[in-house]
Structure 1
Amino acid sequence: MSDLVEQKQAQAEAVLRLAPVVAVVVIRRVEQAVPLARALVAGGIPAVEITLRTPVALEAIRAIATEVDEAWVGAGTVLSAQDLHAAAQAGARFAVSPGHSPRLLAAAEDSALPYLPGAATASEAMTLAERGYRLQKFFPAVPAGGVDYLRALSGPLPSVRFCATGGIGAATTAEWLALPNVIAVGGSWLTPPDLVEMENWPAIAALAREASVLRA
Protein backbone atom coordinates (compact mmCIF):
# COMPACT_ATOMS: atom_id res chain seq x y z
CA MET A 1 0.00 0.00 0.00
CA SER A 2 1.42 3.36 -1.00
CA ASP A 3 1.49 6.36 1.29
CA LEU A 4 -0.44 8.30 -1.37
CA VAL A 5 -3.31 5.79 -1.41
CA GLU A 6 -3.55 5.96 2.37
CA GLN A 7 -3.42 9.74 2.30
CA LYS A 8 -6.34 9.83 -0.12
CA GLN A 9 -8.20 7.19 1.89
CA ALA A 10 -7.90 9.47 4.91
CA GLN A 11 -9.38 12.27 2.83
CA ALA A 12 -12.22 9.99 1.70
CA GLU A 13 -12.86 9.06 5.32
CA ALA A 14 -13.15 12.72 6.25
CA VAL A 15 -15.83 13.14 3.56
CA LEU A 16 -17.75 10.06 4.72
CA ARG A 17 -17.70 11.27 8.32
CA LEU A 18 -19.29 14.63 7.49
CA ALA A 19 -22.76 13.10 7.90
CA PRO A 20 -24.28 9.63 8.11
CA VAL A 21 -25.64 9.91 4.56
CA VAL A 22 -23.98 10.91 1.30
CA ALA A 23 -26.58 12.37 -1.04
CA VAL A 24 -26.59 10.53 -4.38
CA VAL A 25 -27.98 12.95 -6.93
CA VAL A 26 -28.98 12.83 -10.60
CA ILE A 27 -29.03 16.32 -12.13
CA ARG A 28 -31.01 16.74 -15.35
CA ARG A 29 -31.10 20.55 -15.47
CA VAL A 30 -27.90 22.32 -14.53
CA GLU A 31 -29.73 25.36 -13.13
CA GLN A 32 -31.09 23.13 -10.38
CA ALA A 33 -27.67 22.02 -9.16
CA VAL A 34 -26.76 24.96 -6.94
CA PRO A 35 -30.13 25.40 -5.14
CA LEU A 36 -30.34 21.63 -4.64
CA ALA A 37 -26.86 21.51 -3.10
CA ARG A 38 -27.70 24.47 -0.88
CA ALA A 39 -30.85 22.70 0.33
CA LEU A 40 -28.88 19.56 1.22
CA VAL A 41 -26.23 21.57 3.04
CA ALA A 42 -28.90 23.52 4.92
CA GLY A 43 -30.32 20.18 6.08
CA GLY A 44 -26.95 18.99 7.35
CA ILE A 45 -25.84 16.82 4.41
CA PRO A 46 -22.72 18.44 2.90
CA ALA A 47 -21.39 15.44 0.92
CA VAL A 48 -23.12 15.48 -2.47
CA GLU A 49 -22.33 12.82 -5.08
CA ILE A 50 -23.41 13.93 -8.55
CA THR A 51 -23.74 10.85 -10.74
CA LEU A 52 -22.22 11.05 -14.20
CA ARG A 53 -25.41 9.77 -15.79
CA THR A 54 -26.62 12.89 -17.55
CA PRO A 55 -25.06 15.27 -20.10
CA VAL A 56 -25.03 18.12 -17.57
CA ALA A 57 -23.45 16.23 -14.67
CA LEU A 58 -19.96 17.71 -15.03
CA GLU A 59 -21.37 21.19 -15.48
CA ALA A 60 -23.43 20.67 -12.33
CA ILE A 61 -20.33 19.63 -10.39
CA ARG A 62 -18.52 22.71 -11.62
CA ALA A 63 -21.39 25.00 -10.59
CA ILE A 64 -21.63 23.51 -7.10
CA ALA A 65 -17.85 23.57 -6.60
CA THR A 66 -17.80 27.24 -7.60
CA GLU A 67 -20.89 28.52 -5.82
CA VAL A 68 -21.56 26.33 -2.75
CA ASP A 69 -18.49 26.51 -0.54
CA GLU A 70 -20.05 24.43 2.22
CA ALA A 71 -20.73 21.47 -0.08
CA TRP A 72 -18.29 18.65 -0.62
CA VAL A 73 -19.24 17.79 -4.17
CA GLY A 74 -18.08 14.55 -5.72
CA ALA A 75 -18.59 12.54 -8.88
CA GLY A 76 -20.41 9.21 -8.89
CA THR A 77 -20.74 6.51 -11.53
CA VAL A 78 -17.09 7.03 -12.43
CA LEU A 79 -16.38 4.23 -14.91
CA SER A 80 -13.14 5.19 -16.65
CA ALA A 81 -9.92 7.16 -16.40
CA GLN A 82 -11.56 9.77 -18.62
CA ASP A 83 -14.44 10.14 -16.14
CA LEU A 84 -11.98 10.53 -13.28
CA HIS A 85 -9.97 13.19 -15.08
CA ALA A 86 -13.09 15.09 -16.16
CA ALA A 87 -14.47 15.03 -12.61
CA ALA A 88 -11.24 16.44 -11.22
CA GLN A 89 -11.19 19.15 -13.88
CA ALA A 90 -14.78 20.08 -13.00
CA GLY A 91 -13.87 20.61 -9.35
CA ALA A 92 -15.04 17.37 -7.76
CA ARG A 93 -13.57 16.72 -4.31
CA PHE A 94 -13.99 12.95 -4.39
CA ALA A 95 -14.94 10.18 -6.82
CA VAL A 96 -17.06 7.06 -6.44
CA SER A 97 -17.48 3.98 -8.65
CA PRO A 98 -20.12 1.22 -8.63
CA GLY A 99 -17.30 -1.30 -9.03
CA HIS A 100 -13.67 -1.22 -10.10
CA SER A 101 -11.31 -2.32 -12.84
CA PRO A 102 -7.51 -2.54 -13.13
CA ARG A 103 -7.37 0.47 -15.46
CA LEU A 104 -9.60 2.58 -13.25
CA LEU A 105 -7.62 1.71 -10.13
CA ALA A 106 -4.40 2.64 -11.89
CA ALA A 107 -5.91 5.96 -12.95
CA ALA A 108 -7.18 6.61 -9.44
CA GLU A 109 -3.74 6.04 -7.99
CA ASP A 110 -2.36 8.63 -10.43
CA SER A 111 -5.10 11.12 -9.58
CA ALA A 112 -5.20 13.54 -6.68
CA LEU A 113 -8.89 12.79 -6.08
CA PRO A 114 -9.89 10.72 -3.05
CA TYR A 115 -11.51 7.63 -4.54
CA LEU A 116 -14.11 5.17 -3.26
CA PRO A 117 -14.16 2.01 -5.42
CA GLY A 118 -17.10 -0.36 -5.40
CA ALA A 119 -17.24 -3.97 -4.23
CA ALA A 120 -20.11 -6.45 -4.01
CA THR A 121 -18.31 -9.65 -2.93
CA ALA A 122 -15.71 -10.76 -0.41
CA SER A 123 -13.22 -11.39 -3.23
CA GLU A 124 -13.68 -7.90 -4.64
CA ALA A 125 -13.31 -6.36 -1.19
CA MET A 126 -10.13 -8.38 -0.59
CA THR A 127 -8.68 -7.31 -3.94
CA LEU A 128 -9.28 -3.66 -3.11
CA ALA A 129 -7.92 -4.05 0.42
CA GLU A 130 -4.68 -5.48 -1.01
CA ARG A 131 -4.26 -2.20 -2.90
CA GLY A 132 -4.84 -0.13 0.24
CA TYR A 133 -8.54 0.62 -0.08
CA ARG A 134 -9.83 0.16 3.44
CA LEU A 135 -12.85 2.27 2.51
CA GLN A 136 -15.10 0.93 -0.23
CA LYS A 137 -18.58 1.35 -1.66
CA PHE A 138 -20.83 -1.68 -1.13
CA PHE A 139 -23.05 -1.71 -4.20
CA PRO A 140 -25.78 -2.60 -4.95
CA ALA A 141 -26.31 -2.93 -1.22
CA VAL A 142 -29.75 -4.54 -1.02
CA PRO A 143 -29.61 -6.75 -4.14
CA ALA A 144 -26.04 -7.85 -3.30
CA GLY A 145 -27.09 -9.41 -0.01
CA GLY A 146 -28.32 -6.67 2.27
CA VAL A 147 -27.56 -6.07 5.91
CA ASP A 148 -26.97 -9.74 6.77
CA TYR A 149 -24.40 -10.16 4.01
CA LEU A 150 -22.44 -7.06 4.94
CA ARG A 151 -22.54 -7.99 8.61
CA ALA A 152 -21.03 -11.36 7.70
CA LEU A 153 -18.13 -9.62 5.93
CA SER A 154 -17.18 -7.77 9.10
CA GLY A 155 -15.79 -10.97 10.61
CA PRO A 156 -13.20 -11.97 8.01
CA LEU A 157 -12.58 -8.40 6.79
CA PRO A 158 -12.52 -6.30 9.98
CA SER A 159 -10.27 -3.60 8.51
CA VAL A 160 -12.61 -2.74 5.62
CA ARG A 161 -15.43 -0.23 6.06
CA PHE A 162 -18.14 0.50 3.55
CA CYS A 163 -20.42 3.21 2.28
CA ALA A 164 -23.46 1.05 1.54
CA THR A 165 -25.46 2.26 -1.45
CA GLY A 166 -28.28 0.87 -3.55
CA GLY A 167 -31.82 0.20 -2.45
CA ILE A 168 -31.46 1.88 0.94
CA GLY A 169 -34.17 4.26 2.11
CA ALA A 170 -34.97 6.42 5.09
CA ALA A 171 -36.71 3.56 6.91
CA THR A 172 -33.73 1.20 6.72
CA THR A 173 -30.77 3.57 7.03
CA ALA A 174 -30.39 3.18 10.81
CA GLU A 175 -30.14 -0.59 10.42
CA TRP A 176 -27.24 -0.21 8.01
CA LEU A 177 -25.50 2.43 10.12
CA ALA A 178 -25.62 0.08 13.11
CA LEU A 179 -23.25 -2.34 11.36
CA PRO A 180 -19.66 -2.11 12.64
CA ASN A 181 -18.26 -2.02 9.10
CA VAL A 182 -20.52 0.73 7.73
CA ILE A 183 -19.16 4.27 7.89
CA ALA A 184 -22.01 5.89 5.94
CA VAL A 185 -24.73 5.13 3.44
CA GLY A 186 -25.42 6.62 0.04
CA GLY A 187 -28.96 7.80 -0.49
CA SER A 188 -30.94 8.94 -3.49
CA TRP A 189 -34.13 9.26 -1.43
CA LEU A 190 -32.99 12.70 -0.25
CA THR A 191 -33.63 14.12 -3.71
CA PRO A 192 -36.82 12.52 -5.09
CA PRO A 193 -37.28 13.36 -8.79
CA ASP A 194 -40.70 14.90 -8.18
CA LEU A 195 -39.41 17.30 -5.53
CA VAL A 196 -36.44 18.24 -7.70
CA GLU A 197 -38.68 18.82 -10.71
CA MET A 198 -40.96 21.04 -8.60
CA GLU A 199 -37.85 22.74 -7.16
CA ASN A 200 -39.22 22.18 -3.69
CA TRP A 201 -35.96 22.95 -1.94
CA PRO A 202 -37.47 23.32 1.56
CA ALA A 203 -38.84 19.77 1.33
CA ILE A 204 -35.43 18.45 0.26
CA ALA A 205 -33.79 20.34 3.12
CA ALA A 206 -36.28 18.71 5.49
CA LEU A 207 -35.40 15.22 4.19
CA ALA A 208 -31.73 16.02 4.61
CA ARG A 209 -32.34 17.25 8.14
CA GLU A 210 -34.01 13.97 9.08
CA ALA A 211 -31.12 11.98 7.63
CA SER A 212 -28.42 14.10 9.23
CA VAL A 213 -29.32 13.00 12.77
CA LEU A 214 -29.65 9.28 12.15
CA ARG A 215 -26.31 8.60 13.84
CA ALA A 216 -26.71 11.20 16.58
Structure 2
Amino acid sequence: MDVLSSLRAARLVPVVVLDDARQADGLAAALVAGGLPVAEVTFRTSAAQDSIRAMADRGDMLVGAGTVLTPEQVDQAVAAGASYVVSPGLSRAVVERCGEHGVLALPGAVTATEIQAAVELGLTTVKFFPAGTSGGAPAIAALAAPFAGVSFVPTGGVGPKNLQDYLGIASVAAVGGSWMVPRDAVKDGDFDRVRTLTAEAVALVQG
Protein backbone atom coordinates (compact mmCIF):
# COMPACT_ATOMS: atom_id res chain seq x y z
CA MET A 1 0.00 0.00 0.00
CA ASP A 2 1.44 3.39 -0.96
CA VAL A 3 1.56 6.35 1.43
CA LEU A 4 -1.54 8.12 0.13
CA SER A 5 -3.53 4.88 0.25
CA SER A 6 -2.40 4.39 3.84
CA LEU A 7 -3.54 7.90 4.76
CA ARG A 8 -6.88 7.23 3.08
CA ALA A 9 -7.22 4.03 5.06
CA ALA A 10 -6.46 5.82 8.35
CA ARG A 11 -8.82 8.70 7.50
CA LEU A 12 -7.39 10.67 10.42
CA VAL A 13 -3.86 12.03 10.84
CA PRO A 14 -2.72 13.17 14.30
CA VAL A 15 -0.76 16.41 14.01
CA VAL A 16 1.92 16.25 16.69
CA VAL A 17 4.16 18.86 18.28
CA LEU A 18 6.99 17.29 20.27
CA ASP A 19 9.20 19.41 22.51
CA ASP A 20 11.36 16.48 23.60
CA ALA A 21 12.34 13.60 21.33
CA ARG A 22 12.45 11.30 24.35
CA GLN A 23 8.64 11.41 24.35
CA ALA A 24 8.39 10.21 20.74
CA ASP A 25 8.43 6.48 21.35
CA GLY A 26 5.81 6.65 24.10
CA LEU A 27 3.60 8.80 21.94
CA ALA A 28 3.95 6.43 19.00
CA ALA A 29 3.05 3.47 21.21
CA ALA A 30 -0.06 5.30 22.46
CA LEU A 31 -1.21 6.10 18.92
CA VAL A 32 -0.69 2.51 17.78
CA ALA A 33 -2.47 1.15 20.86
CA GLY A 34 -5.33 3.56 20.20
CA GLY A 35 -5.72 2.16 16.69
CA LEU A 36 -4.16 5.01 14.71
CA PRO A 37 -0.64 4.09 13.53
CA VAL A 38 0.04 7.36 11.72
CA ALA A 39 1.38 10.79 12.65
CA GLU A 40 2.46 14.12 11.22
CA VAL A 41 5.31 15.49 13.35
CA THR A 42 5.60 19.23 12.85
CA PHE A 43 8.92 20.98 12.30
CA ARG A 44 7.94 23.65 14.80
CA THR A 45 10.45 22.50 17.41
CA SER A 46 14.10 21.50 17.42
CA ALA A 47 13.07 17.99 18.52
CA ALA A 48 11.21 17.27 15.27
CA GLN A 49 13.92 15.45 13.34
CA ASP A 50 14.95 13.16 16.20
CA SER A 51 11.28 12.54 17.02
CA ILE A 52 10.52 11.48 13.46
CA ARG A 53 13.52 9.16 13.50
CA ALA A 54 12.45 7.54 16.79
CA MET A 55 8.90 6.98 15.55
CA ALA A 56 9.87 5.80 12.08
CA ASP A 57 12.46 3.37 13.45
CA ARG A 58 9.69 1.49 15.29
CA GLY A 59 8.47 0.12 11.97
CA ASP A 60 4.83 -0.06 13.03
CA MET A 61 3.51 3.32 11.94
CA LEU A 62 3.47 5.81 9.08
CA VAL A 63 5.34 8.99 9.99
CA GLY A 64 5.36 12.26 8.10
CA ALA A 65 6.86 15.69 8.66
CA GLY A 66 4.68 18.76 8.97
CA THR A 67 5.22 22.53 8.76
CA VAL A 68 8.03 21.94 6.26
CA LEU A 69 8.99 25.27 4.71
CA THR A 70 12.27 24.71 2.87
CA PRO A 71 14.02 22.10 0.68
CA GLU A 72 16.60 21.74 3.45
CA GLN A 73 13.88 20.70 5.89
CA VAL A 74 12.67 18.17 3.31
CA ASP A 75 16.18 16.69 3.30
CA GLN A 76 16.21 16.55 7.11
CA ALA A 77 12.76 14.99 7.29
CA VAL A 78 13.51 12.31 4.72
CA ALA A 79 16.87 11.54 6.33
CA ALA A 80 15.00 10.96 9.61
CA GLY A 81 12.58 8.55 7.96
CA ALA A 82 9.56 10.67 7.04
CA SER A 83 7.37 9.00 4.41
CA TYR A 84 5.50 12.17 3.47
CA VAL A 85 5.98 15.91 3.79
CA VAL A 86 3.28 18.45 4.68
CA SER A 87 3.58 22.21 4.18
CA PRO A 88 1.26 25.04 5.26
CA GLY A 89 1.49 26.59 1.79
CA LEU A 90 2.47 25.74 -1.76
CA SER A 91 6.21 25.96 -2.47
CA ARG A 92 7.52 24.76 -5.82
CA ALA A 93 10.98 24.24 -4.30
CA VAL A 94 9.60 22.04 -1.51
CA VAL A 95 7.40 20.02 -3.88
CA GLU A 96 10.26 19.47 -6.30
CA ARG A 97 12.63 18.37 -3.53
CA CYS A 98 10.01 15.88 -2.35
CA GLY A 99 9.87 14.59 -5.91
CA GLU A 100 13.63 14.14 -5.96
CA HIS A 101 13.39 12.05 -2.79
CA GLY A 102 10.35 10.14 -4.01
CA VAL A 103 8.18 11.12 -1.04
CA LEU A 104 4.60 12.35 -1.07
CA ALA A 105 4.22 16.13 -0.88
CA LEU A 106 1.06 17.58 0.68
CA PRO A 107 1.27 21.37 0.29
CA GLY A 108 -1.31 23.71 1.70
CA ALA A 109 -3.82 25.12 -0.80
CA VAL A 110 -7.18 26.77 -0.13
CA THR A 111 -7.94 28.79 -3.27
CA ALA A 112 -8.67 27.71 -6.83
CA THR A 113 -5.44 29.41 -7.96
CA GLU A 114 -3.34 27.53 -5.39
CA ILE A 115 -4.98 24.20 -6.20
CA GLN A 116 -4.47 24.74 -9.92
CA ALA A 117 -0.81 25.55 -9.27
CA ALA A 118 -0.48 22.29 -7.31
CA VAL A 119 -2.05 20.36 -10.17
CA GLU A 120 0.44 21.97 -12.58
CA LEU A 121 3.21 20.59 -10.35
CA GLY A 122 1.81 17.11 -10.85
CA LEU A 123 0.07 16.76 -7.50
CA THR A 124 -3.28 15.11 -6.94
CA THR A 125 -3.69 15.76 -3.20
CA VAL A 126 -3.35 18.97 -1.20
CA LYS A 127 -3.60 19.98 2.42
CA PHE A 128 -6.58 22.31 2.91
CA PHE A 129 -5.19 24.63 5.61
CA PRO A 130 -6.34 26.39 7.67
CA ALA A 131 -9.61 24.59 7.04
CA GLY A 132 -11.71 26.23 9.74
CA THR A 133 -11.04 29.81 8.65
CA SER A 134 -10.98 29.07 4.91
CA GLY A 135 -14.58 28.05 4.44
CA GLY A 136 -14.46 24.60 6.01
CA ALA A 137 -16.28 21.64 4.51
CA PRO A 138 -18.55 23.75 2.25
CA ALA A 139 -15.48 25.34 0.61
CA ILE A 140 -13.94 21.93 -0.09
CA ALA A 141 -17.21 20.66 -1.55
CA ALA A 142 -17.35 23.68 -3.84
CA LEU A 143 -13.72 23.37 -4.96
CA ALA A 144 -14.09 19.65 -5.59
CA ALA A 145 -16.43 20.34 -8.51
CA PRO A 146 -13.93 22.05 -10.86
CA PHE A 147 -11.02 19.96 -9.53
CA ALA A 148 -12.56 16.52 -9.90
CA GLY A 149 -9.24 14.67 -9.69
CA VAL A 150 -7.96 16.43 -6.58
CA SER A 151 -8.16 15.04 -3.04
CA PHE A 152 -8.01 17.15 0.11
CA VAL A 153 -6.60 16.71 3.60
CA PRO A 154 -8.29 19.43 5.67
CA THR A 155 -6.38 20.50 8.77
CA GLY A 156 -6.81 23.36 11.22
CA GLY A 157 -9.98 23.88 13.21
CA VAL A 158 -11.05 20.26 12.85
CA GLY A 159 -12.39 18.46 15.91
CA PRO A 160 -14.86 15.84 17.06
CA LYS A 161 -17.86 18.11 16.46
CA ASN A 162 -17.17 18.78 12.77
CA LEU A 163 -15.10 15.73 11.80
CA GLN A 164 -17.93 14.00 9.98
CA ASP A 165 -18.69 17.17 7.99
CA TYR A 166 -15.30 16.72 6.32
CA LEU A 167 -15.24 12.93 6.13
CA GLY A 168 -18.62 12.98 4.41
CA ILE A 169 -17.08 14.66 1.35
CA ALA A 170 -15.92 12.14 -1.25
CA SER A 171 -12.86 14.19 -2.22
CA VAL A 172 -11.51 14.27 1.35
CA ALA A 173 -8.77 11.66 1.60
CA ALA A 174 -8.10 12.13 5.31
CA VAL A 175 -8.40 14.77 8.01
CA GLY A 176 -5.60 16.21 10.14
CA GLY A 177 -6.25 16.99 13.78
CA SER A 178 -4.47 17.50 17.07
CA TRP A 179 -7.18 17.02 19.69
CA MET A 180 -6.13 13.41 20.36
CA VAL A 181 -2.50 14.47 20.97
CA PRO A 182 -2.74 17.49 23.31
CA ARG A 183 0.65 19.14 23.65
CA ASP A 184 0.43 19.21 27.45
CA ALA A 185 -0.35 15.48 27.64
CA VAL A 186 2.59 14.67 25.36
CA LYS A 187 4.91 16.96 27.30
CA ASP A 188 3.83 15.38 30.61
CA GLY A 189 4.16 11.85 29.26
CA ASP A 190 0.47 11.19 29.89
CA PHE A 191 0.22 8.60 27.15
CA ASP A 192 -2.76 6.83 28.73
CA ARG A 193 -4.73 9.99 28.00
CA VAL A 194 -3.40 10.07 24.43
CA ARG A 195 -4.33 6.42 23.91
CA THR A 196 -7.87 7.02 25.21
CA LEU A 197 -8.38 10.14 23.09
CA THR A 198 -7.02 8.33 20.05
CA ALA A 199 -9.33 5.35 20.52
CA GLU A 200 -12.28 7.75 20.86
CA ALA A 201 -11.23 9.55 17.68
CA VAL A 202 -10.97 6.27 15.78
CA ALA A 203 -14.45 5.33 16.96
CA LEU A 204 -15.76 8.66 15.63
CA VAL A 205 -14.15 8.02 12.25
CA GLN A 206 -15.70 4.58 12.06
CA GLY A 207 -19.07 6.09 12.84
TM-score in terms of structure 1 length: 0.90
Q: What letter is aligned with 1:32?
A: Q
Partner of 1:184: 174
Q: Is residue 18–residue 187 contact of structure 2 (8 Å, CA) maintained in 1?
A: no
Deviation at 1:148, TM superposition (A): 1.2
Q: Indicate yes or no: 2:28 matched with 1:40.
A: no
Partner of 1:88: 78
Deviation at 1:105, TM superposition (A): 2.2
Partner of 2:118: 128
Partner of 1:19: 10
Deviation at 1:51, TM superposition (A): 0.2
Deviation at 1:215, TM superposition (A): 3.6
Match of 1:107 among 93, 97, 115: 97
Q: What letter is aligned with 2:114?
A: E
Q: What letter is aligned with 1:108?
A: C
Query: Any stretches of 5+ residues in structure 2 without a counterpart?
Result: none
Match of 2:127 among 137, 151, 154: 137
- Measured in 2, the distance between the counterparts of 1:20 and 1:195 equals 23
> How high is the sequence identity, in percent, across the aligned residues?
40
Which structure 2 residues correspond to residues 56-95 of structure 1 after superposition, within 5 A? 56-66=47-57, 68-95=58-85
The structure-2 alpha-carbon separation of the partners of 1:109 and 1:116, relative to structure 1 and needing over 3 Å to count, comes to same
CA RMSD between the two structures = 1.4
Q: Indicate yes or no: 2:155 matched with 1:165.
A: yes
1:57-97: CA deviations, max 9, x gaps? 1011111112x221111111111110101111111111111
Partner of 2:107: 117
The structure-2 alpha-carbon separation of the partners of 1:101 and 1:197, relative to structure 1 and needing over 3 Å to count, comes to closer
- Measured in 1, the distance between the counterparts of 2:82 and 2:103 equals 8
1:154-207: CA deviations, max 9, x gaps? 111111110100111122111110012111100111111222233221211111
- Measured in 2, the distance between the counterparts of 1:134 and 1:207 equals 31
Q: What letter is aligned with 1:212?
A: V
- Measured in 2, the distance between the counterparts of 1:103 and 1:134 equals 17
Query: Any stretches of 5+ residues in structure 1 without a counterpart?
Result: 1-9
Q: What letter is aligned with 1:42?
A: A
Q: What letter is aligned with 1:97?
A: S
1:92-128: CA deviations, max 9, x gaps? 1111111112222221221222221211111111111
Alignment size in residue pairs: 206
